């Protein structure tokens, strides 16, 4: 079960009176018991060695570009859904609400900066560079001034727009490559992208965008040393798009292995590539990061029972425990009667192995360390 912290607050824009504290008025009855309680979900993932695992979403939109919600609603979702950090990354070039909203590429950050500080959320300044496909879209986070970017979408200015972000010392990642598969070059490592990469103007790729996994992008990250990113690219309400009734469903996010819970430490981790993309049941990233995260979350307990079979063999029974809110699905290659284990968040399962086995090998099929490769782990049975 997801752990929840029922902390009533009055800082998420909506003025809420604590239940039962309103004065009674003759002739009225307040139905506060019907209100949805305001609480922050605790998404628990244990530390990975010296690193904290911070939950982050660096690709979100508001009405200041093509999103459907005001920035404060976006912040409420982030707080309630247990994230540690996020960025508002509104388009500069694409503003379909401009007849109704005074467009300011920095307004979302301005509106939320103090609110984020009060609610202990790390808000990173960012924007989305909306270029023609190919090359497609790029997110620039840790920027100074989004209004400084070029608004002209002419192809010859694509590179200049990204390089302006680099001049601001931005962390730049390529968004959702392959989202328009019918366009030639939209899902290829084209010369334009290679040029950015060689000039250190490309630092990561969005391997997971909302409900889509881009497997070729994962391979590019692995082969070229780029940072694996996972984000919602949310435009509507998250509760509208995600089926949160399932206990393993969370919004898509980047799990950042950071030394401290600070914006500076997140930036350092992004630059070092210490990330894992999380899409509810699935984890994608570099093998060392996924393996370290798995080992921090999953524990095989010592054998607690030995069964003697009629054929003379002995079988040991073990408990395997998931200590996190992540989901893991394992195929066991050396198990006896146990071939598949599903570890739901904060759950325990039984597994068996021959008493003379020293190792239990598992393929964690809910993870990807390449487009065609899952994480493999060995449990020591001695």
Fold of 46-285: TIM Barrel (3.20.20)
Q: What is the pLDDT of residues 356-377, one digit of tens each?
A: 889 999 999 999 999 999 999 9
* Fold match flag (46-285 vs 299-380): no
What is residue 152's predicted lDDT score, i.e. its pLDDT? Answer: 55
Q: What is the pLDDT of residues 232-249, one digit of tens each?
A: 999 999 999 999 999 899
| pLDDT greater than 80 at residue 3 | no
Between these two residues, 348 and 19, which has the higher pLDDT value? 348
Q: Which structure tokens are listed for 98?
A: 């401009």
Percent of residues, the chain, with pLDDT higher than 70? 91
What is residue 153's predicted lDDT score, i.e. its pLDDT? Answer: 55
326-329: which pairs have CB atoms within 8 A and are 24 or more residues apart? 326/45, 326/278, 326/283, 326/293, 326/297, 327/248, 327/280, 327/281, 327/366, 328/294, 328/297, 328/298, 328/364, 328/366, 328/367, 329/281, 329/364, 329/365, 329/366
| pLDDT greater than 70 at residue 325 | yes
Task: Say if residue 134 is preceded by a cis peptide, omega within 30 of 0.
Answer: yes
The pair phi, psi for residue 51, each rounded to 5°, is -105, 140
Q: What is the pLDDT of residues 252-267, one digit of tens each?
A: 999 999 999 999 999 9
Nearest to 144 by CA among 119, 121, 123, 167: 167
Judge contact between 182 and 134, C-beta under 8 A.
Answer: no
Helices (H) and strands (E) in the chain, counts: 8, 22
Please tell me whether residue 37 adopts helix, strand or coil conformation. Answer: coil
What is residue 317's predicted lDDT score, i.e. its pLDDT? Answer: 95
Percent of residues, the chain, with pLDDT higher than 90? 77
| pLDDT greater than 60 at residue 9 | no
What is residue 22's predicted lDDT score, i.e. its pLDDT? Answer: 73
CA distance 256 to 83: 11
What is residue 102's predicted lDDT score, i.e. its pLDDT? Answer: 92
Task: Say if residue 135 is preceded by a cis peptide, omega within 30 of 0.
Answer: yes
CA distance 219 to 306: 43
Judge contact between 41 and 4, C-beta under 8 A.
Answer: yes
What is residue 373's predicted lDDT score, i.e. its pLDDT? Answer: 98
pTM, full prediction: 0.92
CA distance 252 to 301: 31
What is residue 28's predicted lDDT score, i.e. its pLDDT? Answer: 93
Q: Which structure tokens are listed for 154?
A: 């002419």
* Domain boundaries of the chain, sorted by first residue: 46-285, 299-380
The pLDDT confidence band at residue 1, using thresholds 50, 70 and 90, is very low
- 189-to-133, 158, 209, 224, 343 alpha-carbon distances in Å: 13, 16, 18, 11, 36
- The mean pLDDT value of the chain amounts to 91
CA distance 113 to 122: 9
Q: Which structure tokens are listed for 378?
A: 């060995």
The whole-number average pLDDT for the span 205-230 is: 98
| Chain center to CA of 130 | 22
CA distance 13 to 109: 15
Q: What is the pLDDT of residues 119-149, one digit of tens each?
A: 999 999 999 998 888 999 999 999 998 877 7
What is residue 18's predicted lDDT score, i.e. its pLDDT? Answer: 43
Q: Which structure tokens are listed for 259?
A: 């030394």
Nearest to 298 by CA among 365, 346, 357: 346
What angle, 0 to 180 degrees and rounded to 10, lies between the N-to-C axes of helices 191-198 and 158-167?
20
What is residue 150's predicted lDDT score, i.e. its pLDDT? Answer: 58
| pLDDT greater than 60 at residue 13 | no
**Neighbour tally for 12: CB within 10 Å:** 19
Query: What single DSSP character describes residue 148?
Result: G
What is residue 24's predicted lDDT score, i.e. its pLDDT? Answer: 81
Nearest to 140 by CA among 115, 109, 114: 109
What is residue 221's predicted lDDT score, i.e. its pLDDT? Answer: 98
What is residue 333's predicted lDDT score, i.e. its pLDDT? Answer: 84
CATH of the domain spanning 299-380: 2.60.40
Nearest to 92 by CA among 57, 139, 47, 56: 139
């Amino acid at each position: 079960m997801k752990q929840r912290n029922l902390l009533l607050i009055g800082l998420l824009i909506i003025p809420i009176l604590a239940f039962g504290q309103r004065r009674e008025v003759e002739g009225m009855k307040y139905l506060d018991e019907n209100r949805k309680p305001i609480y922050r979900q605790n998404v628990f993932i244990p530390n990975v060695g010296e690193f904290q695992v911070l939950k982050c979403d660096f690709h979100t939109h508001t009405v200041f570009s093509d999103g459907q919600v005001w920035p404060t609603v976006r912040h409420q979702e982030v707080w309630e859904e247990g994230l540690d950090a996020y960025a508002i990354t509104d388009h500069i070039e694409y503003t379909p609400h401009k007849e109704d909203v005074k467009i300011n590429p920095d307004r979302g950050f301005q509106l939320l900066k103090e609110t984020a500080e009060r609610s202990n959320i790390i808000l990173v300044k960012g924007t989305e560079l909306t270029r023609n496909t190919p090359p497609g879209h790029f997110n620039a986070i840790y920027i100074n001034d989004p209004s400084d970017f070029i608004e002209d979408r002419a192809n010859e200015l694509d590179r200049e727009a990204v390089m302006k972000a680099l001049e601001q010392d931005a962390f730049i990642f390529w968004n959702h490559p392959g989202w328009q598969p019918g366009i030639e070059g939209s899902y290829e490592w084209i010369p334009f992208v290679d040029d950015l990469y060689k000039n250190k103007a490309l630092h990561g790729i969005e391997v997971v965008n909302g409900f889509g996994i881009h497997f070729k992008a994962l391979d590019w990250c692995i082969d070229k040393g780029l940072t694996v990113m996972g984000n919602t690219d949310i435009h509507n309400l998250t509760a509208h798009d995600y089926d949160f009734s399932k206990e393993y469903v969370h919004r898509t996010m980047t799990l950042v292995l950071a030394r401290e819970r600070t914006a500076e430490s997140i930036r350092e981790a992004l630059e070092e590539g210490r990330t894992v993309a999380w899409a509810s049941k699935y984890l994608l990233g570099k093998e060392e990061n996924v393996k370290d995260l798995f080992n921090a979350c999953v524990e095989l307990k010592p054998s607690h029972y030995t069964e003697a079979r009629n054929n003379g063999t002995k079988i040991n029974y073990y408990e395997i425990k998931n200590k996190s809110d992540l989901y893991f699905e394992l195929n066991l290659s050396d198990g006896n009667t146990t071939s598949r284990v599903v570890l739901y968040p904060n759950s325990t399962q039984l597994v068996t192995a021959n008493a003379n086995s020293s190792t239990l090998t598992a393929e964690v099929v809910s993870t990807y360390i390449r487009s065609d490769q899952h994480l493999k782990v060995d449990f020591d049975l001695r």
